């Protein structure tokens, strides 16, 4: 029997985020939602990541309402969101009561699959969100933030999968956020996880940035991967995912079963071509984002980080230090215990490398983020932080001995009371905790428009 490969469509979330800074308003994709629903995807990734922030900040949309509208138009397709573990949709760690309520409300408003990851792969930062997802009746997709280092061995990744499974993961996602995973690495890692957990479905997520993605997916499929993340062709390639239709075509030719409806994907491609052209015309979609960039294969740092390094050095009039900063970057990463280079650790490591080079002395100047990292506020690092450097940064201060979130006071009830008369529902309370200034502004605008959040009522204030 032909092995089946399933697809997650990313056009509404990751492709939108990677190519056009998440600027796709609901109205622009509403007309095509019913067609997406007929296409036969495993899931449609449409929420979480930066979508929540951008809805409030730039699009003047209530992210919760957006989710409910998508849900109503896609009754037959699982809706997926991306959640940053204990950081939910932000960069700070939140108390557990917020994480739990956020997950519960996301599921109540229509989410079926929650992909939960942590920048350090510390499972203690995933546990509360994973358990809340299972409790709410949704699919918890336990996620590995993929990176390479001497301590990121297959054995270690398989151990992480064991932990994720025991926390209730019903699928595993390997998330290659930088597009640095090559075909052989994909084959070997998927094989290692499949050997240990033959019945646990695996989803591979990568980006086309370096041009490896099609080959990487193909070898992952040969190793038994069950689900791949792709974007409809007009929103594919470059910093986005590889094209849905291309992979469907190639995999069918190779004898795999692909349940996508070609009429529906064709209609989607026709539709999104028009949308793409609008974003090209107004300059939001830049040619650079669509191009192949192999620099990060040479330097082994994600593409976004290279451009950050360049712009930092430019600001400081020190572009001549670029090569030195590039050499310093992997050294800082090693000192800090080999964190995966993903937001926010990529910025922290990059800024520190530049500092070390410009100061002519290592760790003379340290950001408050690096200090917090050394205190253990971001979680357990993949390898121990270099003890001498940790001591140099922390002085007599002791690193945390417990999970950082355990030191935080509950926040939900307090905020409900604070927002009495302003918040119309718990969703409002959650938006406010996540992005207080943006939510406040949004509530004021909404009041003006006299919009209502009729379906949900405040339960406890």
Q: Cβ(144)–Cβ(173) under 8 Å? A: yes
Q: Is the peptide bond before 344 cis (omega within 30 degrees of 0)?
A: yes
CB closest to Co ion, residue no? 14
**Which residue, 136 or 215, has its beta carbon nearer to Co ion?**
215
For the bound state, the minimum distance from the C-beta of residue 307 to Co ion, rounded and expressed in Å, comes to 17
The CB-of-325 to Co ion minimum distance in angstroms stands at: 25
Q: H-helix or E-strand containing 132?
A: helix 127-135
Least distance from Co ion to the Cβ atom of residue 294, Å: 18
Window of 10-18, 23-31, 270-278, 418-426 that interacts with Co ion by CB under 5 A: 10-18
Shortest distance, position 235 Cβ to Co ion, whole Å: 13
Query: For the chain, how big is the Rg over CA atoms in Å?
Result: 22
| Whole-number Å distance between alpha carbons of 45 and 14 | 8
- The region of 8-16, 156-164, 360-368, 408-416 touching Co ion under the rule CB under 5 A is 8-16
Interface with Co ion in residues 325-354 (CB under 5 A): none
Residue closer to Co ion (CB basis): 120 or 433 = 120
- Nearest distance from residue 195's CB to Co ion, in Å? 26
By CB under 5 A, tell whether 9 contacts Co ion.
no
At closest approach, how far in Å is the CB of 376 from Co ion? 27
Total residues at interface with Co ion (CB under 5 A): 1
| Beta carbon of residue 334, minimum distance to Co ion (angstroms, whole number) | 25
Examine residue 428 and tell whether it contacts Co ion (CB under 5 A).
Answer: no
- 3 state SS of 108: helix
Measuring CA to CA, which residue among 203, 44, 55, 171 is closest to residue 111? 44
Q: How many residues does the chain have?
A: 461
CB closer to Co ion, 149 vs 208: 208
Token pair for residue 130?
A: 């994973």
The DSSP-derived string for 352-383 is HHHHHHHHTSTTSS--HHHHHHHHTTT---SS
Residue 45 contacts Co ion per CB under 5 A: no
Q: How far apart are the first and last CA of the chain?
A: 57
Residue (95 or 304) nearer to Co ion, CB: 304
Both tokens of 2, joined, read 């032909």
**Could you say which DSSP state residue 231 is in?**
B
Complex with Co ion: residue 14 or 118, whichever CB lies closer: 14
Which string of x and - marks every residue 14-33 that binds Co ion (by CB under 5 A)? x-------------------
Q: Which is nearer to Co ion, 98 or 117 (CB)?
A: 117
Which of these segments, 13-21, 122-130, 278-286, 432-440, binds Co ion (CB under 5 A)?
A: 13-21
Nearest to 7 by CA among 183, 208, 205, 191: 205
Both tokens assigned to 47: 């929420």
46 versus 353: smaller Cβ distance to Co ion: 46
Closer to Co ion by Cβ: residue 175 or 403: 175
**Contact between 427 and 401 (Cβ < 8 Å):** no
Smallest gap from residue 301 Cβ to Co ion (A): 16
β-bridge partners, 142: 116, 172
Minimum Å distance from CB 210 to Co ion? 13
Nearest to 275 by CA among 52, 23, 47: 23
Segment interacting with Co ion (CB under 5 A) among 11-19, 159-167, 317-325, 352-360: 11-19
C-alpha pair distances (Å), 319 with each of 307, 308, 310: 12, 12, 7
CA pair distance 340, 186, nearest whole angstrom: 17
Is 61 an interacting residue with respect to Co ion (CB under 5 A)? no
> Do strands 6-9 and 227-230 pair parallel, antiparallel, or not at all (unpaired)?
parallel
Q: Which is nearer to Co ion, 229 or 328 (CB)?
A: 229
Contact set with Co ion (CB under 5 A): 14
């Amino acid at each position: 029997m032909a092995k089946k490969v399933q697809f997650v469509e990313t056009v509404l979330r990751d492709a939108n985020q990677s190519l056009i800074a998440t600027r796709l308003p609901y109205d622009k994709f509403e007309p095509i939602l019913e067609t997406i629903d007929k296409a036969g995807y495993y899931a449609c990734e449409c929420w979480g990541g930066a979508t929540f922030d951008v809805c409030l900040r730039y699009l003047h949309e209530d992210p919760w309402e957006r989710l409910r509208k998508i849900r109503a138009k896609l009754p037959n397709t699982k809706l997926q969101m991306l959640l940053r573990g204990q950081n939910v949709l932000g960069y700070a760690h939140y108390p557990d009561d917020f994480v739990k309520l956020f997950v519960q409300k996301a599921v109540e408003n229509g989410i079926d699959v929650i992909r939960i990851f942590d920048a350090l792969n510390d499972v203690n930062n995933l546990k509360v969100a994973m358990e809340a997802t299972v409790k709410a009746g949704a699919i918890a997709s336990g996620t590995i933030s993929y990176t390479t280092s001497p301590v990121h061995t297959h054995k270690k990744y398989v151990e992480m999968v064991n932990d994720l499974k025991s926390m209730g993961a019903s699928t595993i996602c390997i998330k290659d956020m930088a597009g640095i995973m090559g075909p052989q690495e994909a084959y070997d890692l998927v094989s290692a996880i499949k050997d240990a957990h033959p019945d646990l479905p695996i989803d591979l997520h990568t980006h086309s940035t370096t041009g490896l993605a099609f080959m990487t997916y193909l070898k992952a499929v040969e190793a038994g991967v069950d689900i791949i993340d792709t974007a409809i062709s007009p929103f594919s390639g470059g910093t986005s995912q590889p094209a849905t239709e291309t992979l469907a075509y190639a995999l069918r030719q190779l004898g795999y079963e692909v349940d996508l409806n070609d009429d529906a994907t064709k209609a989607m491609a026709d539709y999104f071509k028009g949308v793409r052209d609008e974003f090209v015309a107004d300059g939001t979609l830049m040619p650079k984002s669509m191009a192949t960039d192999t620099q990060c294969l040479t330097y082994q740092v994600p593409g976004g980080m290279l451009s950050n390094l360049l712009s930092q050095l430019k600001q400081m009039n020190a572009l001549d230090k670029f090569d030195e900063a590039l050499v310093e970057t992997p050294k800082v990463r090693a000192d800090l215990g080999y964190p995966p280079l993903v937001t926010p650790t990529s910025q922290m490591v990059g800024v520190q490398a530049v500092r070390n080079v410009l100061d002519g002395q290592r760790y003379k100047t340290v950001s408050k983020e690096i200090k917090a990292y050394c205190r253990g506020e971001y979680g357990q690092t993949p390898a121990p932080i270099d003890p001498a450097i940790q001591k140099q940064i922390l002085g007599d201060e002791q690193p945390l001995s417990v999970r950082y979130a355990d030191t935080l006071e509950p926040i939900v009830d307090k905020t409900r009371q604070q927002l009495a008369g302003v918040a119309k529902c718990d969703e409002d309370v959650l938006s406010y905790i996540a992005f207080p200034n943006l939510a406040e502004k949004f509530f004021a605008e909404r009041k003006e428009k006299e919009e209502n959040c009729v379906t949900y009522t405040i339960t406890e204030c």
